[in-house]
Amino acid sequence: MDQKSREGIWERVNELLSEEPIATPGHVRRMTEWAERVGSQVGADLDTLIPGALLHDVGVLTDRPRHFVAGRAKAAEILAEVGYPEARREAVLHVQEAHSRYGGPDPASVEAEVAQAADTIEYLGAIGIVRAAVRGVIDGSFSGEVDDFPAVMRKIIAGTPESLPGTAQEVAEGRSRYMSSFLERLEQELAFEA
């Protein structure tokens, strides 16, 4: 993918998500960076992976719970706007649709597997804790009461996949361990033990 197309996609996504509280431009930037790092290790086609990663959350503005499906039309529109080759668009759209562990089609390409792994990394660790709190308050899965947060964290930790491509597995395991130690400390503090 040429630099002009990449920049064009990023500018459009950055503009669309500029006021989005969960799927922020920062999240998209970090997820795309992880996708590129892991994708380079496992031989993914970066010309498919990178635009799919950049576009992965454009559907949150239309339908947050089903953003992986809702984003397809907007992603296709952006690809056309930047002149991304029409013959390659379907592969990019599959990456966009299959990035979520919480819905959408199963990944049918290494690029989609890598995008899903990169998005998983963003659910874990210190970044994952912050994002879980914000996301939970906004979508109603977390009351905002600290006493309720251990249950949110347990669900995230339990959902950590056991197999991710490339170094994504090592990163996810390290971030999951951090979340577990944070959870342990949080529960100690809530029990007045620390």
* Alpha carbon distance 39, 164 (integer Å): 11
Give the mean pLDDT of the chain: 96
Inter-residue contact 181 to 128 (CB < 8 Å):
no
Segment of 2-6, 136-140, 179-183 carrying the highest mean pLDDT = 179-183
Residue 2 is part of which domain span?
1-108
The reply to whether 24 and 56 lie within a common domain is: yes
Say how many domains are in the chain: 2
Task: Flag whether 171 is in a domain.
Answer: yes
The reply to whether 176 and 82 lie within a common domain is: no
The reply to whether 100 and 16 lie within a common domain is: yes
Per-residue pLDDT of 98-122, as tens digits, reads: 999 888 899 999 999 999 999 999 9
Per-residue pLDDT of 66-75, as tens digits, reads: 999 999 999 9
The reply to whether 51 and 94 lie within a common domain is: yes
